[in-house]
Every structure is written in structure tokens, then in C-alpha cells.
């Protein structure tokens, strides 16, 4: 089928994420991908600066991941997880327990990142209900966050600046505090810590949990904060009998320079969500981990089971490729890779400092951000990036990149040149 026919059918039938129907921007047709490059149907080639929404950390068509997928498909593509189990899922759960912060012992395998947050919230709500404290059913979070597009996760996304303000009055009303002060290396603001602690104390009787993205607020604004605010949350939640959820869907598996962002603060949340890079971008899969206290509390309740069971939970194909992806990561010199990404992103984005519309340039691990003083026209930004041979997906006032960890210095130079060009033209 030729490209024009494909695009005609796409426009007629395919509803793309965060877009109208019919679409107003013609998408690019990708024919194949290998390494860090996307090959377009018209023969063009783009360096992927987004890792397919932050998931394809090893790039595309990695022989180890391809082999894991093919081998598992030759054995069993899927089997229901209710009453049955299998080696790939057991191995994955065991590996996640070993890799994540100490104390997280139980793993619920999910379909996607949003579902893992749904499960995390459900765990916390059901925990308190099981203990006879059903009034503890609200969540506290800081503004500027993003936790997914299903309903309970939408309720803890930023209520004003996020995409979900449309649903005000329909979603549960949660407790919001100001976002943590910006700057990974900025000194801890003790007045903010005091206000954060006070908010948790004031609402303790109604709070089931606090949920935050540790260290990096992703789709809500690509903001970095001092890990010390996580320690303040841990102290305040423990002191006030409130559970703590970390959403590491975007930050897990090395993206911030630590295997998990919680490690910057040296602490363990009660519940942890992971996804995206879990399968190296090959399959949709996520996981929700919890400490024994949460599982034991639910097991003592009137309904002594977690009331959740996705059809494709523990999918063997996704589990097998996740095991292979994690193996690739931990057996590699991933710290050096992330340090190299950070160095090249800083070097390549340095010219952005001269832009008159610049608000900030920031880099942490494998994340590079150029923030402007106005919103970016996505269609125009895409055009400029593609002219420079790079695929980027700016949003709001930010041009950012999260490249695959295998990106070379030349790849990163091309990505940052495109980012600066987009910023200069915006």
C-alpha cells in the first residue's frame, strides 16, 4: 500500500493520542526501526530523541530482545494468570524485588503505566478499608505532576496546568500542595518542608497515601527537584500513618543516573510503580510493588484479595522481553552510559543559553530540557526537528529529549542541534 493511501486511511480511522478526530497534523509513516534510527516509508531516516516515549532504552531491533521475544513465542504467547503461573513472570517479579529499594517484596504485574498507578491507589485504599479506616481515602500530591490518563491517576495530575482539568467535578477531589522548588542541586527549602509536613499532618485522618514522581516531574513539566524533599515526605508520612507511593514509570531503570530515582534519597516507598523501560520499549507492561505491610493489611480485610485482575496480567511475551531488557541493562556499564548522555546533552545544549526566549536549560542523567518563555507550536517544532534528521515531541513550553542509552556522541550532537534549532525557531 502506498504512503498516500496509508495516510488517507489513517486520517479516516485512526485516533492518535492527544489529538482530534479527524487529525489536523499529518503523522510520519514509520516503516522500520533499528538502533536509534527510525526509517520512514518515504525513505527518510530520523534519530529518535524520545526513546518511543522514554521506553526504548536499548534502541530498536536489539538482537537479545528480538531473540527473547521469538523464543518465548515458540513456547507460549499468553496464558491466563488466574490460577496459573509461569517462569517468565516469576523470574521478572523476583528480579524486580532484587533490583528495587529494599523492602518492596510483592509484585503485581500490570498492563500499562496508568494501570500500575490505578493498582497502587487501589492497594492503598483497600489497605485502609481492610483495617476499618475507610475514611482514609484521599491522596495528597504536589502540583505539576502527571500519573496517567485513567480516572484515578487523572485525579492526582496537576489540576490546572494538566490535561485533565476538563474532568473537574467528575474526578475525586484530592489534596494538592505547591510543587517542590526546582533544582536537583538546589539547597533544601526548609519553609517548603515545613509546609509540606503541615499539609500531611492536617489531612492525615483522610489521607490514604501521598503519591509523587520522585526527583523528576515528567509530562507535567520536566522539573527536577532536590531528593531531600522525598526524605521529608517519608518522615511525614511515617509520622502520620499515611502510605507513600512513588511513580517511577518514567524515572525507573537508570534514566536519572540511579537505577531508580528513590535511590537518590536512599529510601523505600510503601508502593512503587514502574513501566515504560521495563520491557525496553518492546511490549506494554508495568508493575506495582509494595511492602509486606500493605499486602498483609489487605489480606486481613473483609475482602482478603486485591480486587484487580487484568486479562493480560503477567503476559509471558512481555515478561520474557522484560527479563531480557533488565538483563541487558544491569550487565552493561549503564552508569557510564548515563554519565556520557548527561555530558553530551550539556555540551550540545550549551548554545541555547544565548536564546532570548530561554527560561532554563537543564540536564539530569539521560534527560535534556530547553524551556522557553512561551508555548511551542508542535507542528512547526516537528518540521524543524525533522529537517535536522531528528524525531522530537515538544510539549507546552519545552523542547526535551530522552535518548536511548546506546546513542553515540554523534547521535547526541544531532539531537541537541535539533533541539537548539527548534528552540531558536519557536
Active site residues: 18, 146, 247, 276
* Cell numbers found for residue 232: 521529608
CA–CA distance, 293 with 295 (Å, rounded to integer):
6
Give backbone dihedrals phi and psi of 237, rounded to 5 degrees, phi first. -70, -40
Give backbone dihedrals phi and psi of 104, rounded to 5 degrees, phi first. -85, 110
Q: Which residue has the cell 509513516?
A: 29
CB atoms within 10 A of CB 23: 15
Phi-psi region of 96 (alpha: psi -120 to 50; beta: other; left: phi over 0): alpha
Instruction: Looking at 14-112, list the stretches that DSSP marks H as alpha helix, in order from N- to C-terminal side.
Output: 51-54, 63-73, 87-99
CA–CA distance, 126 with 149 (Å, rounded to integer):
21
CA–CA distance, 370 with 423 (Å, rounded to integer):
7
Strand ranges in 13-85 using DSSP code E only, listed in sequence order: 30-34, 37-40, 45-48
Q: How far is CA 95 from CA 284, 287, 317, in A?
A: 18, 12, 16
Q: Which residues contact 43 (CB under 8 A, 6 or more apart)?
A: none
Amino acid at each position: 500500500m502506498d504512503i498516500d493511501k496509508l495516510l488517507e486511511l489513517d486520517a479516516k480511522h485512526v485516533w492518535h493520542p492527544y489529538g482530534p478526530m479527524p487529525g489536523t497534523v499529518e503523522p510520519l509513516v514509520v516503516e522500520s526501526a533499528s538502533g536509534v534510527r527510525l526509517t520512514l516509508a518515504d525513505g527518510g531516516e530520523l534519530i529518535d530523541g524520545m526513546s518511543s516515549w522514554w521506553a526504548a532504552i536499548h534502541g530498536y531491533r536489539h538482537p537479545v530482545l528480538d531473540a527473547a521475544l521469538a523464543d518465548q513465542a515458540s513456547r507460549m504467547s499468553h496464558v491466563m494468570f488466574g490460577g496459573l503461573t509461569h517462569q517468565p513472570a516469576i523470574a521478572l517479579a523476583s528480579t524486580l524485588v532484587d533490583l528495587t529499594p529494599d523492602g518492596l517484596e510483592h509484585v503485581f504485574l500490570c498492563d500499562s503505566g496508568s494501570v500500575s498507578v490505578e493498582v497502587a491507589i487501589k492497594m492503598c485504599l483497600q489497605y485502609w478499608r481492610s483495617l476499618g479506616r475507610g475514611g482514609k481515602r484521599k491522596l495528597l500530591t504536589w502540583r505539576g505532576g502527571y500519573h496517567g490518563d485513567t480516572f484515578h491517576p487523572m485525579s492526582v495530575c496537576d489540576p490546572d496546568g494538566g490535561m485533565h482539568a476538563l474532568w473537574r467535578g467528575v474526578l475525586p477531589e484530592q489534596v494538592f500542595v505547591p510543587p517542590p522548588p526546582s533544582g536537583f542541586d538546589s539547597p533544601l527549602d526548609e519553609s517548603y518542608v515545613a509546609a509540606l509536613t503541615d499539609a500531611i499532618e492536617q489531612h492525615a485522618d483522610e489521607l490514604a497515601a501521598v503519591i509523587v514522581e520522585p526527583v523528576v516531574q515528567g509530562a507535567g513539566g520536566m522539573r527536577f527537584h532536590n531528593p531531600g524533599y522525598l526524605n521529608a515526605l517519608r518522615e511525614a508520612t511515617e509520622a502520620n500513618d499515611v502510605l507513600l507511593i512513588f511513580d517511577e514509570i518514567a524515572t525507573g531503570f537508570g534514566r536519572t543516573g540511579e537505577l531508580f530515582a528513590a535511590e537518590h534519597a536512599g529510601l523505600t516507598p510503601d508502593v512503587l510503580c514502574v513501566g515504560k523501560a521495563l520491557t525496553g520499549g518492546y511490549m506494554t507492561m508495568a508493575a506495582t510493588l509494595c511492602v509486606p505491610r500493605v499486602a498483609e493489611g489487605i489480606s486481613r480485610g473483609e475482602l482478603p484479595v486485591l480486587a484487580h485482575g487484568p486479562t493480560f496480567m503477567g503476559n509471558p511475551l512481555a515478561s520474557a522481553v522484560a527479563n531480557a531488557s533488565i538483563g541487558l541493562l544491569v550487565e552493561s556499564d549503564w552508569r557510564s552510559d548515563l554519565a556520557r548522555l548527561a555530558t553530551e546533552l550539556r555540551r550540545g545544549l550549551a548554545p541555547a543559553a544565548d536564546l532570548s526566549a530561554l527560561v532554563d536549560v537543564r540536564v539530569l542523567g539521560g534527560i535534556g530540557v530547553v524551556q522557553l518563555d512561551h508555548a511551542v507550536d508542535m507542528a512547526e517544532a516537528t518540521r524543524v526537528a525533522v529537517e535536522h534528521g531528528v524525531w522530537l515531541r515538544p510539549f507546552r513550553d519545552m523542547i526535551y529529549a530522552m535518548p536511548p542509552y546506546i546513542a553515540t556522541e554523534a547521535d547526541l550532537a544531532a539531537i541537541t542541534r535539533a533541539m537548539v534549532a527548534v528552540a531558536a525557531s519557536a
